[in-house]
């Protein structure tokens, strides 16, 4: 119950009550949270106060808002240790989940300057530009924009690219050896494309990952910009002293 005589703000009390309900198992992952109006009427508080509590919990990734459907208790996030280099397909399979992808566009384009510099290509070089949604057990986890040089991967179709791990294709079909990657991670607000394809709301955060991947001889063969749902994905780092 909320104590209106307490020095603690009402929105904070409601936030803690919902948090306890999640931690105790009263609310389970995937459950629909009562609406702002229901909380407002139950405790005789303003919807603005309820919204403050809900927004804070959404920011922490404990709940997730879905346009036109309501607010749900977040599923347990996929945890990825920050060591070694793996593909999305390998990550999801290692968790006994089924990875799938939905291609938004797949085309050959003349490389622009920022990507040309990253991939160390000549002006006018052709790259594949591939934008796709990555799913785990049918749930959208990330949207991924990939650039890879045609001079390295040759003639590639959308079907061939999407039917297996790209890293498997590079190593097993092209017989190239992947050596290492350079990766940057930042937290940003979702843009319109990410909101649409990841079922997010305006103002929701994402984990934005930039990865440049190299072959054994140091040649960059892939630049990838991946936007992960912040409530579905997290990174773990082991630090040693």
Residue pLDDT, tens place only, 150-170: 999 999 999 888 887 899 999
Going through the chain in order, the beta strands assigned E by DSSP cover 63-66, 70-73, 78-81, 99-110, 126-136, 139-149, 178-189, 205-215, 220-229, 233-236
| H helix intervals, 145-233 | 150-153, 158-162, 166-168, 192-197
**CATH 3.40.1410.10 residue spans of the chain:** 78-236
Average pLDDT over residues 46-65: 87
Q: Quick check: pTM over 0.85?
A: no
For position 78, what pLDDT does the model report? 64
pLDDT surpassing 70 at residue 16: yes
Confidence class of residue 82 from pLDDT cuts 50, 70 and 90?
A: low
Residue limits of CATH 1.10.10.10 in the chain: 10-73
- Angstrom distance (rounded) from CA 20 to CA 27: 9
**For residue 214, what are the contacts with CB-CB under 8 A and spacing of at least 6?**
178, 179, 180, 181, 182, 220, 221
Of 131, 124, 165, residue with least CA distance to 146: 131
| Angle of CA points 11, 16, 17, to nearest 5° | 95
Note the CATH number of domain 78-236. Answer: 3.40.1410.10
What is the pLDDT at residue 202? 84
Rounded to an integer, what is the distance from CA 25 to the centroid of its chain? Answer: 25
What architecture (CATH level 2) is domain 10-73?
Answer: Orthogonal Bundle (1.10)
């Amino acid at each position: 119950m909320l104590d209106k005589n307490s020095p603690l703000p009402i929105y904070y009390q409601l936030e803690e009550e919902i948090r306890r309900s999640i931690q105790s198992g009263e609310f389970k992952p995937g459950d629909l949270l009562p609406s702002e109006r229901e909380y407002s009427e139950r405790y005789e508080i303003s919807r603005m106060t309820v919204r403050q509590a809900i927004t804070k919990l959404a920011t922490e990734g404990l709940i997730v808002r879905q346009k036109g459907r309501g607010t749900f208790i977040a599923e347990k996030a996929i945890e990825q240790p920050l060591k070694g280099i793996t593909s999305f397909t390998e990550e999801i399979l290692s968790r006994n989940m089924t990875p799938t992808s939905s291609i938004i566009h797949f085309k050959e384009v003349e490389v622009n300057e920022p990507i040309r510099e990253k991939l160390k290509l000549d002006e006018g070089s052709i790259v594949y530009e591939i934008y796709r949604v990555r799913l785990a057990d049918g749930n959208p986890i990330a949207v991924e924009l990939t650039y890879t040089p045609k001079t390295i991967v040759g003639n590639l179709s959308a079907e061939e690219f999407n039917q297996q791990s790209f890293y498997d294709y590079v190593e097993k079909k092209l017989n190239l050896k992947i050596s290492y990657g350079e990766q940057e991670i930042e937290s940003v607000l979702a843009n319109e494309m990410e909101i649409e394809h990841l079922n997010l709301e305006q103002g929701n955060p994402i984990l934005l990952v930039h990865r440049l991947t190299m072959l054994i001889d140091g040649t960059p063969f892939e630049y990838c910009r991946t936007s992960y749902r912040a409530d579905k994905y997290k990174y773990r780092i082991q630090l040693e002293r």
